[in-house]
Amino acid sequence: MLYVALGDSVTFGYSATAVEQSFVRRLQRSWTRPQRPVHVYLQAKPGWTSKQLLRSLADIQDCVFAEAKVVTLLIGGNDLLRGAPWLMNGNHDRMLKIAEQLQGHLQQIVDHVRKLGPQMMIATLYNPFPQSIIAVEYTQIANRTVQRVVHRNGLLLADVAQAFEGREVDWIEGYRGGRIKDFRLIGNPVHPNDAGHAAIARVFARTWRQANVQFQKNPRQTHRLRTRETPRRVSNAAE
């Protein structure tokens, strides 16, 4: 079984104490069976935005996605972080523009991957600054963008944001006060620690397990969900 993991520093395993503690490797272990080894193709880099990840897909041979059983996608945190100056200044229009661009990039990533067949799970973004009303608002806007892409394309939604809510102090490395003023150019308290990586792995694993249970109950309905054609229009992020 081939598992393709797409993302940024979180998927890369940043802030995990060892490679084996990253959510990707945890998923690999949880899906491995004696007669079914799981191989990982990791396409992730610290600092990547959704646009940079999209561009990087050109470097992946089509056979990778054609052979993959499942693809996880967790991207968008750096899109929001790069908009932090506008966020702190309350530039609502600029943040909506960032969310709109994120939606367009996510759709293009989905189009690239799904044309070759594998099922995709896309994660919502957890908020490392839950005590900031502005950060909460804009993370919600970004996650509504993620949800629209998921629903329009019949994908699987891994609700990491919901899992992290109220557990940020336990699951984010270097967590301070959860306020936007904690933002730093270096040493930002935004990445999951080992417990956070474990939580992300649980969300993805549960989402995959539930989807397969549903498929066994109603294979025709689930097949239609996975293969339906949907509009490609990019709408306003606040709609």
Domains of the chain, CATH where assigned:
2-227 (3.40.50.1110)
pLDDT string in tens for the chain (239-residue length)? 999 999 999 999 999 999 999 999 999 999 999 999 999 999 999 999 999 999 999 999 999 999 999 999 999 999 988 866 655 666 677 778 889 999 999 999 999 999 988 999 999 999 999 999 888 988 999 999 999 999 999 999 999 999 999 999 999 999 999 987 777 666 789 999 999 999 999 999 999 999 987 655 565 544 444 433 333 333 333 32
Residue 63's Cβ-count burial label (10 Å; 0-12, 13-18, 19+) is exposed
What is the rounded distance in angstroms from the CA atom of residue 233 to the CA atom of residue 80? 22
Sheet with 2-7, strands from edge to edge, namely: 39-44, 2-7, 68-74, 119-123, 156-158
- Residue 131, helix vs strand vs coil: coil
